[in-house]
Amino acid sequence: MSKTGSILLAMALMVAAGIVAVLTGLVTLNIGSSSKPQRFANKGALEVVCEVEVSRPGETLDSPFDSSKLTLPAIFNFEENTGAYPGEYAISMNRKGTLHIRGEVLEIHRPSMFKRHGVVIIGERVTLNRQTGAFRQSLELNGGKRLDLVRGTCKRTDNAPF
């Protein structure tokens, strides 16, 4: 067999092996996308520390709100399907909310029913985007309205990726 024939045969075998690897799932091609698909471990508990800006309303929901920067912890427990952070309304470290997993976004929700700032607060929602580290907290108000109160970014306490 000639050198050219040997090279062509070797290339054909490599292409065939590559096709078999893709079809069996051993190799994943991410064609047309600049980011790698991420898989997150949804086991145990995820503990994070967040640098946030908190906007607190006064007696009413009229602007301007008092703003302050805080560092606060949050925990997402996959085994118990709960989550908590030291909030001021419905969710706190001892009043955990229900954890919902939506791909890279973790969401904690806790229903409530109380009146503050002249409106009825019917729930509190916290989200953490595990890909970007974005942390958000909002209140659900009667009438289908939402009030965003906390924005920031979080990092794992053990410096591992989310």
Instruction: Compute the average pLDDT of residues 107-116.
Output: 89
Question: What CATH number has the domain spanning 45-156?
Answer: 2.40.128
Name the segment(s) of the chain with CATH classification 2.40.128. Answer: 45-156
Q: Are 41 and 101 in contact (CB under 8 A)?
A: no
Per-residue confidence band for 18, with pLDDT thresholds at 50, 70 and 90: confident
Q: Is the pLDDT of residue 95 over 70?
A: yes
Q: Is the pLDDT of residue 41 over 90?
A: no
Q: Is the pLDDT of residue 31 over 60?
A: no
Where is mean pLDDT largest: 13-17, 41-45, 74-78, 93-97? 74-78
d(CA 20, CA 13): 11
How far CA 42 is from CA of 49, 51, 63, 105, 115, in Å, comes to 18, 23, 39, 11, 35
DSSP 62: P
Q: Are 76 and 106 in contact (CB under 8 A)?
A: yes
Per-residue confidence band for 140, with pLDDT thresholds at 50, 70 and 90: very high
Instruction: Compute the average pLDDT of residues 127-144.
Output: 93
